[in-house]
Amino acid sequence: VAVTTVELARMLWRSRPNVQVIGIESDRVRADIAARSWREQAPADLKVLGPTLSRRGKWTCKLQGTMDFRHGGFLMPLAPEERPKVVAVRAMNVLRQYESLAECRKAHRTVVGQLAEGGVLLEGSSDPIGDVVAVHLLRRPPVGGAEPFVHEAMFFALNLRRLAREGGLSLDLVAENLPQLLYGRTDGPFEEFLRIWRAAVEHSAAAHQQLMLRQSGYGRGCGHRPGDGVRLHFVLAGRRLAEMLPGSLGEVVVRKRWLRRGWLLWRRPPYPGGDARAAARARAAVDGTSSVQADSSGPSRGAAAELGIDASCG
Q: What is the pTM of this model?
A: 0.81
Residue 274 has pLDDT above 70, yes or no: no
Q: Has residue 272 got a pLDDT over 60?
A: yes
Q: What is the pLDDT of residues 104-132, one digit of tens each?
A: 999 999 999 999 999 999 999 999 999 99
State how far the alpha carbon of 176 is from the alpha carbons of 96, 101, 116, 127, 179, in Å: 13, 18, 33, 9, 10
The pLDDT value recorded for residue 226 is 47
Sheet containing 20-25: order of strands: 67-71, 20-25, 307-310, 86-92, 120-126, 132-139, 150-158, 263-267, 251-252
Percent of the chain with pLDDT over 70: 74
Q: Mean pLDDT across the stretch 59-63?
A: 61
Q: How far apart are CA 146 and CA 162, in angstroms?
A: 43
Query: Is residue 279 predicted with pLDDT exceeding 50?
Result: no
Q: Is residue 305's pLDDT more than 60?
A: no
Residue 11 has pLDDT above 60, yes or no: yes
Range from 59-63, 124-128, 145-149 carrying the lowest mean pLDDT: 59-63
Alpha-carbon dihedral angle through residues 116, 119, 123, 127, given to the nearest 10 degrees: -120
Q: Measure the CA–CA gap between 150 and 141, rounded to whole angstroms.
A: 7
Q: Which of 8-12, 61-65, 124-128, 296-300 has the highest mean pLDDT?
A: 124-128
DSSP-derived letter for residue 117 is T
Contacts for 46-49 with beta carbons within 8 Å, 24 or more apart?
A: 48/1, 48/3, 49/1, 49/3, 49/6, 49/7, 49/10
